[in-house]
Amino acid sequence: MAHEYAHVEQDFRVTFPGPFQQHDVVVDGWSVPFVKASFRSDAEDHVRLILDDRIGLDLTSAEAEKLMPFLADAISIALGYGAHPSKESETLPERTPHMGPRRVVRVGPELAG
């Protein structure tokens, strides 16, 4: 029994734009997790950093050079490491316990009534 399929014209909710070319971001020979980069074709010497596939930031190469070591350290600390590995590091350092966030309550002077 042959199956017949009717071609239905419709607007699809899912599309597949692309292709995209993304690059790993590497600081001191170690990749930075959760950060990808793409080069902008409309602006020379600009890079778009994409954090966690959700947030993008367009920077010049010089700005990225200044920002990325700080961001790499911040991500490593958030993952439980002391900092992003240095270029001298041969292996990933052990994770260390660190203090979690603390609730801060503002205490003001009592109002005289």
Instruction: Locate 84 and state its tokens.
Output: 């992003």
Tens place of pLDDT per residue across the chain (113 aa): 555 555 555 677 666 666 678 899 999 999 999 999 998 777 788 999 999 999 999 999 899 999 999 999 999 988 888 889 998 999 887 887 767 677 888 887 765 55
* CA proximity to 51, closest of 41, 61, 43, 59: 59
Max CA-CA distance within the chain?
Answer: 90
Q: Where are the domains of the chain?
A: 23-78
Instruction: Locate 22 and state its tokens.
Output: 């993304």
